[in-house]
Amino acid sequence: MKKKLLALSIGVLSLSTVQVFSQEDNTSYREGYQLILEQQWERARDHFQEFQTQWADSSWADDAAFWHCYAIEQLNTESREHFACYQDFLNNWPESSWVADARGKILVLGSRLAQRGNPEYLQQLRFFSTGDPDVDFDFDFDDIDDTVAAALDRAERELERVRIVRENMVPPRPPVPDVPDLPDNIFISQDGDEIRFEIEETIREAQRNAREMAERAREAYRSRGFSRSRNTADDELLTILAALRDNERASDILLDRLESSDDPQLRSRIVLLLEDIPGERISNSLLDLVDNDESEIVRNNAVIVLLDRNEPVARSRLLEIVDDESFPVSIRSEIVGDLDNWEESEAIPVLGRLLRNSTEPALIEEAADALADIGSDEAVSVLLDGFSQQQDMGLRYVMLEEIANLETPRVMNFLSDIALENEDDELAAIAIDGIADREDNIGVAALEHIYLQSQNQQRRLAAMIGIGEAENAYAYDVISELIADETNPELLAVAANALGRTGQEDAIDRLMSIYSASSDSNVHRSVIRALRRLERFPAATEAMLNILEDRLASAEAQ
Strand partners, 58: 20
| Residue 1 clears pLDDT 60, i.e. is over it | no
Residues in the chain: 558
| Distance between start and end Cα atoms, the chain | 42
Q: Quick check: 276 pLDDT over 60?
A: yes
User: Residues of the chain with pLDDT > 70: what percent?
Assistant: 71
Mean pLDDT of 270-274: 80
Q: Are 432 and 459 spatial neighbours (Cβ–Cβ below 8 Å)?
A: yes
Lowest mean pLDDT segment, chosen from 66-75, 107-116, 175-184: 175-184
pTM value is 0.62
Average pLDDT of the residues in 134-148: 42
Tens digits of residue pLDDT in 156-197: 454 454 455 444 444 444 444 444 555 555 555 555 555 554
Element (DSSP H or E) covering residue 196: strand 193-198
Lowest mean pLDDT of 84-88, 174-178, 460-464, name the range: 174-178
Residue 160's pLDDT is 52
DSSP H helices in 171-311: 201-244, 248-260, 264-273, 280-292, 296-309
More reliable by pLDDT, 136 or 294: 294
Check residue 425 and give its pLDDT. Answer: 87
Question: What confidence score (pLDDT) does residue 68 get?
Answer: 92
Binning pLDDT at 50, 70 and 90, where does residue 129 land? Answer: low
| DSSP for 282-298, written as a single string | HHHHHHHHHHH-S-HHH
For the segment 423-433, the average pLDDT, to the nearest whole number, is: 89
Q: Which of 487, 492, 499 is nearest to 534 (CA)?
A: 499
**What is the average pLDDT value for the chain, to the nearest integer?**
76
pLDDT confidence of 216, banded at 50, 70, 90?
A: low
- Cβ atoms 434, 404 nearer than 8 A: yes
Answer yes or no: is pLDDT of 349 > 90: yes
* Residue 394 predicted with pLDDT over 70: yes
